[in-house]
Amino acid sequence: MLAIDQGRPRILNLKDFFRCYVNHRFEVITRRTKFELKKAEARKHILDGLLIAIANLDDVVKIIRASKNRDEAKVKLVEAYGFTEPQVNAILDMRLYQLTGLEREKLEAELAALLATIADLQAILADAGRVYAIIKDDLAELKEKFASKPDAQRRTEITVDENEVSIKDLIADEPCVIT
């Protein structure tokens, strides 16, 4: 079977084809896990800043109220607490109802869940066996979703296609008049 393997066309047998597929899935799952880990770490960074701001709420509100505009508030908060740009933006975008104790508990619960997710994603990246287990689970899910019943006839046939292309096959079969 003709396929593109790592950017180059190759003729593969069935074993090589499955090996290429598994290698591709390994790379896809690794990239997806890295993306999710990066996104989770960015959210954790923002939550850390929000929790610091809520812990020092009176001082943060005083700094924001004393500032003339958003940019001045950003600068003062960075100087006072060492927040980063995304953290300061999240603090300044925070609504007043989020200052309640219930919202603080929600933030802490989200942070705890995020830490567990980050640990799991790092474990997946560190262990190739976990990645192969995910591939196996994905294939089992595909089988469950798309497999036909055991007593049903196969819909496709795997055959060797060794037909040659001749000049006659390339000429369109159209009626013509020769004068």
As a whole number of angstroms, the distance between CA 83 and CA 53 comes to 9
> How far, in Å, CA of 39 to CA of 33, rounded?
10
- Structure tokens given for 131: 């990645």
Give per-residue pLDDT as tens, 85-137. Answer: 999 999 888 887 777 777 888 889 999 999 999 999 999 999 999 999 999 99
So what's the pLDDT on residue 7? 84
pLDDT surpasses 70 at 161? no
Q: What percent of the chain has pLDDT over 90?
A: 51
pTM assigned to the model? 0.73
Evaluate if residue 146 carries a pLDDT over 90: no
Q: Rounded to an integer, what distance in angstroms lies between the CA atom of residue 145 and that of residue 5?
A: 27
Helices 57-66, 14-55: crossing angle, 10 deg rounding: 80
| DSSP-derived secondary structure letter, 153 | P
